[in-house]
Structure 1
């Protein structure tokens, strides 16, 4: 199995509109895609997707990042084809204290390194 490169993951994070994603967690249901919108073009282009996870007791919202099965990046694609539900990274954000998602990038990279 090819591994997911950190550079592919960083590229995804560099494109993610953190503030918009954090705001979407308020009204989305658990498991619902937050970003990018679900199209085969986006799945291929962005390689990953961000879904809403659980709401934590302290009010923070989990954001789950997973690989897409038809990703352009070979390592990402092979990983997703092996297990499309595997969590590549998971972060918790506070929509009240951190509405712009300033903590997401660093937390997601740390989670990625722990999980890959």
Structure 2
């Protein structure tokens, strides 16, 4: 497992998906969902979850966009963010009606995006 993937998996394990599912409905597209934007959080968590697009087909489904923070402590995250701070490293969809763990979907997306 690469250092970047391991760091991303640790981030996903701390991701408060129920809290995010509640917050995502009122967030604007592109808005940071978690963690809150502080230098301390950017260093600690290495990544961020932003609100993506709302499903046109299913009203309760929203895309979550994952990106590396440019202030990341993790060297892989730093290199990734230094290349392009807005590069999407993974995506997942959350259904606000039936909230389930998105870790596996996000890791699959990470593996497809970061070959």
Q: Normalised by the size of structure 1, how large is the TM-score?
A: 0.91
What residue ranges of structure 1 are gaps of 5+ in the alignment? none
Q: Equivalents in 1 of 2:10, 2:3: separation in Å?
A: 12
Per-residue CA shift, 1:7-58, capped at 9, x if unaligned? 1111100111111011111110001000000001000000000000000112
- Asked whether the equivalents of residues 46 and 77 of structure 2 are also in contact (C-alpha less than 8 Å), the reply is yes
Q: Equivalents in 2 of 1:15, 1:93: separation in Å?
A: 16
Q: Equivalents in 2 of 1:15, 1:92: separation in Å?
A: 17
Q: In the alignment, which residue of structure 1 is the partner of 2:51?
A: 52
Q: How many residues align?
A: 111
Q: Normalised by the size of structure 2, how large is the TM-score?
A: 0.92
What residue ranges of structure 2 are gaps of 5+ in the alignment? none
> Displaced runs of 4+ in structure 1, greater than 6 A?
none
Q: RMSD across aligned C-alpha pairs, in angstroms?
A: 1.2
Q: In the alignment, which residue of structure 1 is the partner of 2:112?
A: 114
